[in-house]
Structure 1
Amino acid sequence: MSTPETPQDFSRANSSPNQPDLFGSSTALRHYAAVVRRRWRWIAAGLVLGMVGGLISTVIATSTAPKSSYFKATNTIVEADGSGTANLSQVAFLLQSAEVQGQIATAMNLPVETLRGLIAAQDQSNVSAIDVTAISTDPQFAVTLADTSAKILMDSWSTDSKRRAAESSDAVIARIDELAAKRDELESQIARNPSQATLLRAELDSVINQYRLAREQFQSIAVSDQTVAAFTVFQPAIAVQINGRAFAIRYDANLNSRGSISATQSVPKLTFSETDLTVVSGSSRAVRILIGGLVGLILGIATAFVLEVWDDRIRRRDGLEAVTGLPVIVEVPVFTRAERQELSVIALDAPRSRTAELYRTVRTSILFAIEAESLAALANSDSPDSPRNDRTPVILVTSPSPGEGKTTTTANVASVFAAAGTRTLIVDCDYRKPSIGKYLAPIPDLEHPTNPQPTRVENLWFIPAPRTSASPAIVIEELGRVIDSWRDDFDIVFLDTPPMLTTNDATDLLASADLTMLVIRSGQTRTVAAERVSGLLARFGAPVIGTIFNGCSAADMEGYYGYYGAGYYGSGYYGSGYYGSGYYGSGYYSSGEGQPAQTGQPAQLGQRVRPTPVAPMDAPQTPTSTNGSAEGDAQS
C-alpha cells in the first residue's frame, strides 16, 4: 500500500514546532496571547514577587538611610469667639513684617537675621485658622520658634487692632469737636445777621448732618473696639521630621514671601547633600512598590516566554505538522470535566456539537484515504483490469504515549461511522489495559468472547481484548487471526492499540491494518515522542491518514473551525488545501477512474460494499441476526 506524498507539503521543516509565524502578525499575536494565558501563573508570580520586593526595598532603604536632620513645627491658632470677623490673610501677612520678626528675634534672644526663611504663616480660611510653621535642624528649636511666633503674632494683631481702633476713635472725636464748634459759630452768625438767616440756616443744617454722622461713626468705633477679634492657640507646635528637599522648598518659599524682611537683604544660600534629599514619605513607598511590580511583571512575562521556548511539548497545529510531516486532520478541543467523568461518546450523545462535527470530519478523511489507497493499488497493479481489493479496510489507531485520547478517538470515530449506517467493528487490542469497552457498554458473550458483541451504538460491534497470561507474541498472533476472520463481515474495522512507545504491540499489528491514524494530545506529547512515532511508522512503511490533535485550547486552534464559512470547510483543509485542488481535486478522484460502488444496496455476509465518501442516510436500517442469513443491511 502507498500513501500520497502530498501530506508532506503540510510540513514546515524550517520552523520550530512552537514558534509563531513572525511574518503573519495576527498569527503571532494569537500565539503570544496563548502563551500569556497558558503561563499566567508565572506572570502573576512575577508581579507579586516584584511588589513584595519593592516593599522590602522600601523598608531596607528607610532603615539604612541616614536620619534626616530637618524638622518642621506648626502651631495652629483660631479666633477665640469663632465669629470669623478677622481678615485671616492680613493676620498671616503680619508675620512677615519686620516689626513682628524683630519682636520674635528679641523674644528668642537671637539676631533677627537668623530667623530669615525659617518661619511662615498660612491662613486656612475654610476653618478660620492660621498655621504658623517654623523649620530648623533642631526639633526643639523649631517647636519653640513656632510657638513663640504664634504668640507674638496674636499679641501683635491684638495690639495693632487696638491701636488702629484708638487712632480711629481720636480722629472721629476731633471731627466731632470741629463740627460742634462750627455749628455754634453758624448759630451766632444767624443771630447777628437775620438778613442772611436763610443761607446760614442751610449751611447749619449741613453741619448738623455731618455732626450726626460723626457721632454714629464714633459709636460704631466704640462697639468695634469692644469686639476686636482675639486669637487663641488651637494646637501647639509638634516637631515633624522632613527631608532636605522639603526643607529647601519651604526655606525658599519663606525667603520669597511678600513682605519678608529677608527679601531685601543678602541671605546665605543653603546647600543640601544627596542624603539630605532622601525621600522617606509614604508616596515613596507606593512608587517603589509600583516599580517593583512593573519589573516583576516584565520578568514574569520574560520567564513565561523562556519556558515556552524550552518547553518541547507540542501545542500548535503547525508545530505538529512540522515534527511529524503528517497533516492534522482535526483539532479536537478539550473535553469538559463532566464529559471526561461520564465517559460519554460525544458523537453519539451530542451529535450536533462542534466536537461531533470534528469526528465526522475524521470520517470523511478516512473515506478519502481508503479510496486513495484503492486507487493507488489499482494504479500500481500490472494489469488495468486487475480485480479491485474489496477486503474491509482496517484502521489502526495509536498514539505515542498513554493518556493522549486514543481510545476516546476510536470510540467517537467508530460511532460516527455506525451512525451513518456503516457496519463497524472495534477490536480492543490493548489487552494490558483495556478501556474502550467502558464507552461502548457491550453485551458480553461469555461463551464466545472473541465473537463480535453488540453495543449501545447501533451498527457498532465490539471484540474485547483477550484475557490471557500468554506471551505478547502469542496474543498478537491471536489478535491477528481474530481480525482476519471477522473483518469481511463488517464494512470497516478499527483497532484500538496500545501506545507505540510503551509496548511493541501496535508495531506488530501494523501488518493487520490497512491504514493508521495517529492521535496526539496538545500540551502533553513531546516533540521527541512525536518524531519517534512518525519515524517508526515511516520505517515500517505504514500508510498514515494523518493525526488527530486532541485537547487543543481555543487560543492555539487559530480559528480553523469556523461554522462552514471561511474556516475549516470553506478555504481550509478541504477547501483549497489537500483535498480541494490537491491530490484528490485534480488527481484520480476527479478523473472518474475507479469510481466507488453506488450505495444503497443491501450487503450480505461475504459480499462487500466498500464505504464511500457520501452523505449518510437519515434513517439507517437496524441489522438483524439469523442463522445463515444476512445480519443486516449496510450502507456506506
Structure 2
Amino acid sequence: MNILDESAPKAEKGRYGAAAGRRPARSNAALRLSLTMFISGVRRHFWLLLVLVSLATGGAWLLLELIPPRYTAQATIVLIQAETRVNTSDLVLETEQLTHYQIETEIDFLESNAFLTTVASRLNLTQDPDFNIYLADGTAAGTPAELQLQAAAARLREIYSVSRRGDSLAIDITVHHADPGRAAEIADAMAEIYISGTLEAKRAEVQKSVDFLRQRIEALGTALTASEIRIADFIRQHQLDDLSRTAEMQDELRRLAARIALSGQGSEAAEMIARHDALKEALNLRTRAELTLLNLQRQFDAEVVRYQTFAERRNTLEAQIDILAPGARQITRAEVPAAPAFPNRNLILAAGVLGGVALAGGAAFLRELTDRRIWMSGHAEEATGLPNLAVLPDLETRGLKRPGALAAHLHEHPRSAYAEAGRGLLTLLSGGRPPGSAPVVAVTSALADEGKSTLALSLALVAAQEGEKVLLIDFDVYKHGVTRMSGQKALPQLPAEVWSKSSQVSRKVLRDGVVPGVDLLNFKHNAAIPRDLPAGTEAARSMAMLRSIYDLILLDTPPVLLTQDAVRVAGLADTVLLLARWGRTTEDALENAAGLLSMNRVPASGTVLAGVDPARYQRYGYGTYYGGYYAGYGNG
C-alpha cells in the first residue's frame, strides 16, 4: 500500500490528538547501548578511547618511573620437631615434641623487638642510613646509641615479615629492600641469627644447670670436709680409734664379775664391785659414742652419694653441651632477586591499560547517553514513532547551495547515490496515485539550516529528470532557500492574494523558474500566511487546479518549532516529510516537531535523514543501506 493511498484506513486519534497509528516515542538508551552497537561504538569513539587509554598507560608508566623498586628475598627455616630441654626437677636433658603453642611462640619471638634489636646489632644496621634515621639526617652524633639501635630495629620491622606454611614447621622470613643483595643478606642473616640463637639458648640453659650443679658440688664438698673433721674429732674425743677397746672392756667386766662372785663380803669385794660399776658405765658411754659415730658415718655416706650424683650429672651435662643441636635449621637460603617484586611492572601496566579502557568506556558510555543527536535512522524512528524513508548523503561540503549548482550537479550525476536516494523517496511518495491527481508533499524540519530546502529542490529536480512536471512552492518566507538556490528573487506577492482566486494562481507561477519542467511559486519576504489558508474554498480549488496541471507539487515550509507557518501550510499537503540533519538535529527537537504535527492533525509520512557522511555512516556502524552507492559516490 502506498503511503499516500487515500483509501487506507484512517488511524484513530489517541491522546493529545496524536494518531493512534503513530508509535509512541520512547527512549533510545537500550538501542544505543545494545551489544550489537559495541563495535560501531568503538569506531565512533576510537580517538577518545585511544587518547584515554594512552593517558592511563602513560600515567602507569610514569608511576613506575617514580616509585622506587623493592626487591623481595625469602629464607625458609624448619623447626626441629623434637625439642631438647633441661628437666628442672632432675637437672637432666630430656626430649619433648613441639606443640602448636610453642610454634606460635617461636613466630612471636621472630617478630619481637628483642629479636629485631639483636639482628640490628649483629648486622651493625646503625651504620646504615637506610635503617638509622639519625644517621640519615645527621643527628647521630648527639643521639644515644640505644635510641639509634631502636630506630634501626623499627625500620627493620617495616621491611620484613614472618609467615608459617599452614600447619607445617616451615617458617618463611621475607625481606623487602631497594637493594636486592641487601634483601637476601638480611633474610639469611635473620635465619642464621635465629638458628644460632636457639642453640645459644639451649647451651645457656644447660650451662646454667652446670653452674648450679658446680655450686652444689662445691657446697657438698665443703660439707663433707666438715663432716669428716667432725667425725675425726668425735673419734679422738671418745677414743673410738681403738677398735679392740670395747672387746677388752667386756672381757674385763666378765673377769670382775667372776671374782666378785668368789670374793664374798669383804672390803676387797666392795672395791671390785666399784671397779665393775665404773667399767660398766664407761662401756655404756663408749657404746653410745659408737652408735653416734655410726649415725655420723651414715650421714657422711649420704652426703658422699649426693656429691657423687651431682658430680655425675654435671659431668654428663658438660659433655652434652658441645653436642646440642639448634632448635631449627635453614632449608632455603635467600637468593638475590633478579627482578623487583614491587612495583610489578607488568601488573601495573596492565592495570593502567585496563583502567584506561574502563575510563574510556565510561567516557564513551556517558557520551553516548548524553549525545541526543540523530546519528542513524533508528534514532529518528524511536524519537518520532515514524518510519525513516530515506538516508541522503551530505551535499553542503560540495558547495551545492550556490544558485544553480544543485541542478547542475544532478544533471551531471543523474545516477549518484544522492539522486538514487531521492528517486527512491519519490517512488514512495507518488506511486499508485490516479492520473490528474498530483501528490502534494510538504518538506519541513524541526529547526533551521537542516537541509529541508535542499531536499525539496532535489526532489523536484529528480522528478523533472524523469519527465514529470513539478511545481515547487517556497512557503519559507523568511529565508527563501528554494528561491535562492534556484537563482530567483522573491516576488512581491502575498499568500492570501495568490490563493484568494483559483484563476490567478497559475499566473503567479514562474514557468520553468528552476529548470525546464520545474515551476516555482514564491512570496514576499516575511509575508504573513493566513491561519485558515488550508481550509479556504478558493485554496481548495487552487490546489485542485494545480493537481490537474502538475505531476508533483512540493511545498518548502518553515521549520516546525520556529513558527506556526509550517503547520498552517502543511494543511495543504497530502503528507509531510520531517527532515533530520545527521549529527545535528537532536532527538528532543525531532520528537517535539513530530508531536506538534500530530497534535495539529498534519499527516506526516515519515522522516528523512539528510546530510549523512557516507564513509562515517558505514564505517562507524550507523548503517549500511547505501554502502554500495557511497563507494562510488565521488565518481557520481
Q: By percentage of residues, which structure has more helix? A: 2
Structure number, greater radius of gyration: 2
